[in-house]
Structure 1
Amino acid sequence: MNKLANDNLYETRNNLVKEITLLSDAQFNSKPDMTKWSIAQVCHHLVLVEEASIKAIAWGLKEIDSTQKERKKVHLILDRTKKIKAPKIVEPDVEPFKVQQIIDLLNDSRKKLMTFLSTIEDKSILAEKSVKHPAFGELPLDQWIEQLYLHEQRHIEQIKEIKLLLDARR
């Protein structure tokens, strides 16, 4: 994994934690309306996506077929006017969470990701192999890593919006 991707993963996660650290558990679990996720659910979704991505990358690495797949415009995930329905596997729990509990889960999933990535000796293979992504179709494995922090940035913007909506209701 290149240094830029590593820095982006680190910086984006720090920004996410900054956004949620000072929230009360009540604010954290409050929904702007019944059809939307709470900030806690958004964060739980991010944990589930990171864990699912580790599995997808691991699975992709085991594939024998390594035909070069087309690079995708993964930065398009930042366009929040385009709604993307979360696959069932990464839908968050409806149960309330404590802020610290989610921070621990986020730290744990990131540690698993970084540990897993550190086991890949030849990182160039990540650009050569691909696996199907729910939003992008066949996606090179290195772009799975890139879309992790872009996806997280997308949801940080969503969290900021939810905070504004919750503040407006006070």
Structure 2
Amino acid sequence: MNKLVNDNLHETRNNLVKEITLLSDAQFNSKLDMNKWSIAQICHHLVLVEEASIKAIAWGLKEIDRTQKERKKVQLVLLDRTKKMKAPKIVEPDIEPFEVQQIIDLLNDSRQKLMIFLNTIEDKSILVEKSVKHPAFGELPLDQWIEQIYVHEQRHIEQIKEVKLHLDARH
């Protein structure tokens, strides 16, 4: 895996953990309204997306089709928070409360699984050649599936910052 992607995965995850580490469990699970996710749920969603992405990439690697698929503007789409996206059921977070440390452990586990999995791919060039259908992008090259993990996380870090501001304003 190239260094830039690795650095982006690492830096984004560190930023996420920094945002949540000092929260109390009450703040972590507090919802601004019934239709919005708590910070804990946002983080659980990120764990589920990372795990689902590993499965999708693994599935894509088994595909025989090697026709070059169109590159998508992952950053433009995901970082535009004016456009709301509905999470597919498979990556919707649990409604039960979480502890901050519990989520940090889940985040660490899913990231470790991702890195171990990516390290098993001997020929990384295959990631550009093969693709799998993504719920938001359609056919997405496998290397862009990796990119969307940290870009999607950056999107939600901004959401977490907003929730924290609203939580602070309430107290």
- Secondary structure (helix, strand or coil) at the match of 1:80 reads coil
Q: Pairwise mapping of residues 1-170 of structure 1 onto structure 2 (< 5 A)?
A: 1-76=1-76, 77-170=78-171
Separation in structure 2 between the aligned mates of residue 33 and residue 66 of structure 1, nearest angstrom:
46
Separation in structure 2 between the aligned mates of residue 107 and residue 156 of structure 1, nearest angstrom:
16
> One-letter code of the match for 1:130?
S
Per-residue CA deviation, residues 59-92 of structure 1 (Å, 9 max, x unaligned), is 0000001110000000021000010100000000
Separation in structure 2 between the aligned mates of residue 138 and residue 155 of structure 1, nearest angstrom:
23
- Secondary structure (helix, strand or coil) at the match of 1:50 reads helix
> One-letter code of the match for 2:116?
T
Query: How many residue pairs are counted as aligned between the two chains?
Result: 170
- Secondary structure (helix, strand or coil) at the match of 2:115 reads helix
Separation in structure 1 between the aligned mates of residue 132 and residue 102 of structure 2, nearest angstrom:
31
- Could you tell me the percent identity over the aligned residues? 88
Deviation at 1:168, TM superposition (A): 1.0
Per-residue CA deviation, residues 87-117 of structure 1 (Å, 9 max, x unaligned), is 0000000000000000000000000000000
Separation in structure 1 between the aligned mates of residue 66 and residue 79 of structure 2, nearest angstrom:
28
Separation in structure 1 between the aligned mates of residue 128 and residue 3 of structure 2, nearest angstrom:
15
- Secondary structure (helix, strand or coil) at the match of 1:35 reads coil
Task: Give the ranges of 4+ consecutive aligned residues of structure 1 lying more than 4 Å apart after TM superposition.
Answer: none
Separation in structure 2 between the aligned mates of residue 66 and residue 90 of structure 1, nearest angstrom:
28
- Secondary structure (helix, strand or coil) at the match of 1:122 reads coil
* Alignment TM-score, normalising by the size of structure 1: 0.99
RMSD over aligned CA atoms reads 0.4
Deviation at 1:169, TM superposition (A): 1.1
- Structure 2, unmatched stretches of 5+, are none
Separation in structure 1 between the aligned mates of residue 96 and residue 66 of structure 2, nearest angstrom:
41
Separation in structure 2 between the aligned mates of residue 3 and residue 62 of structure 1, nearest angstrom:
25
